[in-house]
Amino acid sequence: MESKRDFLNELVQTNQLNVDEDVFRKAIRGKDMAFIKRSGIEKIQFTNDIRVHYEVIVMQPDYVVIKAIATKADMVVESFGEATPENTNQKPPYYSAMAEKRALARVVLKFCGAYKHGVYSEDEADDFKQPAPRSTFSDGIQGPDTQKKVA
C-alpha cells in the first residue's frame, strides 16, 4: 500500500491541486493530519467527472442532514453531511449550506481513496479549519489604475 505522502503527491499532481491553496497540514490532538480545502474538493470533482446529486434527509431550523449520491462511470458512492449548532460555528448559521459542503467533500474523498490514507476535508469539522493567515490575496493585484490595488 502506498504511503500518505505518495498518495498526496499523486492526488495533487493528477488533479492539478495547488499546494499553497488547496491542501494543508494541521495537528489535531497531537497527530499531524492532511486536509483538502473546498477549492481542492471542487477540482478533484471536476477532474474526475464525479456527478453528485443530493437528497434532503432532515431540514429543521437547527439540524440539517443532506445525503450526497455521487456517480462516476458505473460506480456509486453515498455519504451524509450534517450541521447543527454543536458542530457549526458559522455566524449567522447556514446549516443547509454546511451540510451540503460536508456531504460533497465526503463522497469526493471516498471516490479518490483519501480516507484510507487519513486525508480529510477541512469542511468536515470546524476543528479541521485552517487558521486564517494574514491575507496576501491582493498583494500584486492591480486595477486599471496601476497606482491602486483592487482589494
Domain count, the chain: 1
Tens of pLDDT along 67-104?
Answer: 999 999 999 999 999 999 988 887 777 999 999 999 99
Predicted local distance difference test score (pLDDT) of residue 1: 63
For residue 99, what is the enclosing H or E element?
Answer: helix 95-112
For the chain, strand residue ranges (E) read: 23-28, 31-36, 51-60, 63-72, 75-83, 119-121
Predicted local distance difference test score (pLDDT) of residue 134: 45
Does 140 map to a domain? no
Does 145 map to a domain? no
Cα four-point dihedral sign 111, 103, 75, 17: negative
Predicted local distance difference test score (pLDDT) of residue 147: 52
Tens of pLDDT along 96-135?
Answer: 999 999 999 999 999 999 999 989 998 875 555 555 554 4
Predicted local distance difference test score (pLDDT) of residue 151: 45
Does 137 map to a domain? no
Predicted local distance difference test score (pLDDT) of residue 6: 92
CA 89 – CA 140 distance, rounded (Å) = 32
Q: Which residue is it, cell 492539478?
A: 16
pTM confidence score = 0.80
Tens of pLDDT along 24-74?
Answer: 888 777 888 888 999 999 999 999 999 999 999 999 999 999 999 999 999
Q: Which domain holds residue 31?
A: 4-128
With a pLDDT cut of 70, the percent of the chain lying above it is 81
